[in-house]
Structure formats: C-alpha cells, structure tokens
Amino acid sequence: AAIMLVRLYGAEDDAKTAYAAGQLTMPFTDVGTTAAPYVAWLYENGIVNGVSATKFGTGACSAKMYCAFLLRALGYTDSGTSPDFTWSTALDRAVELGVLTSAERTALNSGSFLRAQVVYLSYFALSAPLKDGSGILLDKTAASSGVDKSQLQAVMDGVAVSRLS
C-alpha cells in the first residue's frame, strides 16, 4: 500500500533517492528494507503516522486505512480543529467524494482488503477532485512525477474497468 501510494504522488524516484541519501527520517523500527523509502517519504510528508512513535504497524492494510491515505493525498485532513474526515468516517467520505461507490464501501467492509482493491481504489482516486479545487489527483501525480498528463491519461483510458453498483 505504501509503495502504491508514493507512486500515486509521482514521488517514487524522490523517495528512493532521498532515503538513500539519508534525507528522510524513519522513526519506525518495524518496517522492512523494501518498504522503508516509501514509508519514510509518507511519514515525512504527513501521510502516515504509524501506530506509535516507533512502530508503523506491520499488520495488513485495511480498506479504511488506504482510503484515509487516499483522502490525505487529495488534500483532506483528519486532524486539527476542523478535520475533513475522521478515521471512522474515511470510507463514507470516500463515497461522498466519488472515490468509492456505496456498493464498493459495503464490499470493502465485508472481507480482507486485497492488493487488487488497492489498485482499484487508486485508479478511481486519480480522477477524484483535490480539496483545493486545483484539479484531480492525476494532475498532481503528473506534476510531481514530471510525466506528461496526457501520457498518464492515455494509460488510464486503456484500462477497462467498471464500478461496482
């Protein structure tokens, strides 16, 4: 999930380079070497907090957890004096924003959260509006990665996927 999320930000190369150069903080002692650059980048950018000051929490990622990450990627917050969502309402807020349908929320609540579902949610999040109104997540990904948006859109247009109803 961490790797996919950093890729959605278009920041994979930055994360790997900065981590290798010691420019990212990794406070968590339970993150393996493969995920470390990604988790460190997400931590430094306020996307993940871990379950404690030193533990990331290596258990399976849940749908609620990944939706919270996606909402943060879209610029929504779950902290401060006026949060846009809470941990318990992440899936509901994702439905409100069009990242999920009601049927998808129900399906995601009824079993294990699979890698295919991470990809599915990520795909639809790319078309979701950013909180600041500056566009969609695909715009942000293109700008961050240096890849032309039309190339990314062409890839998305080549994917045949239907929403659960």
Tell the residue number behind the tokens 């990809």, with chain if given: 119
pLDDT in tens, 134-145: 999 999 888 888
pTM: 0.85
What is the pLDDT averaged over residues 83-94?
Answer: 93
**Structure confidence at residue 115 as a pLDDT band (50, 70, 90):** confident
Has residue 116 got a pLDDT over 90?
Answer: no
pLDDT in tens, 51-75: 888 888 867 788 998 999 999 989 9
Please state, rounded to an integer, the average pLDDT across all residues of the chain: 89
**Structure confidence at residue 164 as a pLDDT band (50, 70, 90):** confident
- Which tokens sit at 150? 């039309």
C-beta neighbour count of 42 within 10 angstroms: 27
How far apart are alpha carbons 42 and 111 in whole angstroms?
26
- Angle among Cα 35, 151, 17 to the nearest 5 degrees reads 30
Structural contact between residues 53 and 80, judged by C-beta atoms closer than 8 angstroms = no
What is the pLDDT averaged over residues 15-44?
Answer: 94
